[in-house]
């Protein structure tokens, strides 16, 4: 039905342009494959998409107070990864929403843990991060497996 397609396109564009979600996150929310999402967003290739997303994130971060929140999170965590205790300057959004710069949503991770959490694969980095989340802020945090695409994501609540 034509109306359904327009609604899906609107939903995808809203998730990307307003919420700045990644294509993978939009896929999880809508069930639409990544190539279709990229085409709906009007990108002819992935490089174009990544450049645009980086530019958008920079604008959002400037407006949303990201830089001051990041500085506070680093200071709170002593510029160390909360999991490995290695010196780090990488601050991760727990809910993966780049506009949610509440200090409770930010945590310092080292490069290996940050890459591991974003890898979407069930690995010891994600497992250790979920254990840390359960102890420190989200007692119901768990790993959700997506059987169709063989990826995992972290669910913070029930």
DSSP 105: G
**123 and 86: one domain?**
yes
**76 and 143: one domain?**
yes
SS3 152: strand
Place of tokens 């991760």: 92
Query: What are the tens digits of pLDDT across the range 50-87?
Result: 888 888 877 877 777 888 999 999 999 999 999 999 99
pLDDT for 148 equals 65
Containing structural domain, residue 49? 2-63
Query: What are the tens digits of pLDDT across the range 111-146?
Result: 999 988 888 777 788 888 888 888 888 888 777 777
With beta carbons less than 8 A apart as the criterion, state whether 121 and 151 touch: yes
Q: How far is C-alpha 35 from the geometric centre of its chain's CA atoms?
A: 19
pLDDT for 84 equals 93
**75 and 59: one domain?**
no
**29 and 78: one domain?**
no
**84 and 116: one domain?**
yes
**42 and 75: one domain?**
no
Total domain count, the chain: 2
- The pTM score is 0.65
For residues 122-136, one letter each, b for 16 or more C-beta atoms within 10 angstroms of the residue's C-beta and e for the rest, the string is eeebbeebbebbeee
**101 and 121: one domain?**
yes
**70 and 59: one domain?**
no
């Amino acid at each position: 039905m034509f109306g359904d397609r327009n609604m899906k396109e609107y939903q995808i564009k809203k998730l990307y342009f307003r919420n700045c979600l990644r294509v993978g996150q939009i896929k999880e929310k809508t069930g639409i494959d990544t190539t279709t999402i990229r085409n709906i967003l009007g990108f002819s290739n992935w490089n174009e998409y990544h450049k645009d997303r980086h530019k958008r994130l920079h604008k959002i971060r400037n407006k949303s107070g990201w830089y001051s929140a990041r500085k506070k999170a680093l200071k709170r965590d002593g510029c160390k990864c909360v999991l490995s205790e290695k010196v780090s300057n990488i601050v991760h959004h727990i809910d993966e929403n780049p506009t949610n710069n509440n200090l409770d949503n930010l945590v310092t991770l080292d490069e290996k843990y940050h890459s591991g959490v974003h890898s979407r694969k069930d690995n010891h980095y994600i497992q250790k991060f979920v254990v840390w989340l359960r102890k420190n802020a989200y007692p119901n945090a768990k790993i959700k497996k997506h059987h169709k695409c063989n990826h995992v994501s972290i669910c913070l609540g029930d």
